[in-house]
Amino acid sequence: MIFKKTIKALRLAEVLLMTGFILIGAIFAIPNNSEILWVELIAVSISSYLLMLSVYTTNSLLGYELDKKNNRLKNLNFISKPIYTISTIIFYGISLIICIFIKPESVILHFTIFVLWFLYGMPGFGKHLPIVGTIIHILVAVVQFNFAYMFIAPISEVSVFISIFFALLISGGHLHHEIIDYEADKLNKIKTSTVKWGVKNTKYFSFSIFVIAHSYWCLLLITGYIELFWFISFFGGFLIHLGMFISKGTKFENNYQARLKYRLIYRIVYFICGLIVALQIIFF
| pLDDT in the model for residue 62 | 87
pLDDT band at 67 (very low <50, low <70, confident <90, very high): low
* Cβ atoms of 242 and 255 closer than 8 Å: no
Instruction: Check pLDDT > 90 for residue 54.
Output: yes
Q: Is 131 left (phi over 0), alpha (psi -120 to 50) or beta?
A: left
Mean pLDDT computed over 141-160:
97
The DSSP letter of residue 76 is G
pLDDT band at 267 (very low <50, low <70, confident <90, very high): very high
Mean pLDDT computed over 238-247:
94
Instruction: Check pLDDT > 80 for residue 35.
Output: no
Q: State how far the Cα of 71 lies from the Cα of 79, in Å rounded to an integer.
A: 16
The percent of residues in the chain predicted with pLDDT above 90, rounded, is 69
pLDDT band at 127 (very low <50, low <70, confident <90, very high): confident
Q: Which of 4-8, 124-128, 142-146 has the highest mean pLDDT?
A: 142-146
The percent of residues in the chain predicted with pLDDT above 70, rounded, is 94
Instruction: Check pLDDT > 80 for residue 77.
Output: no
Least confident of 104-113, 232-241, 257-266: 257-266
Instruction: Check pLDDT > 90 for residue 184.
Output: no
Q: Beta strands of the chain (E only): which ranges?
A: none
pTM reported for the whole predicted model = 0.93
Instruction: Check pLDDT > 80 for residue 263.
Output: yes
Rg (CA), the chain: 19
Instruction: Check pLDDT > 70 for residue 63.
Output: yes
Q: Which of 266, 282, 173, 281 is closest to 226 using CA atoms?
A: 281
Mean pLDDT computed over 216-220:
98
| pLDDT in the model for residue 276 | 96
* Beta carbons within 8 Å of 188's beta carbon, 6+ residues apart: 66, 69, 70
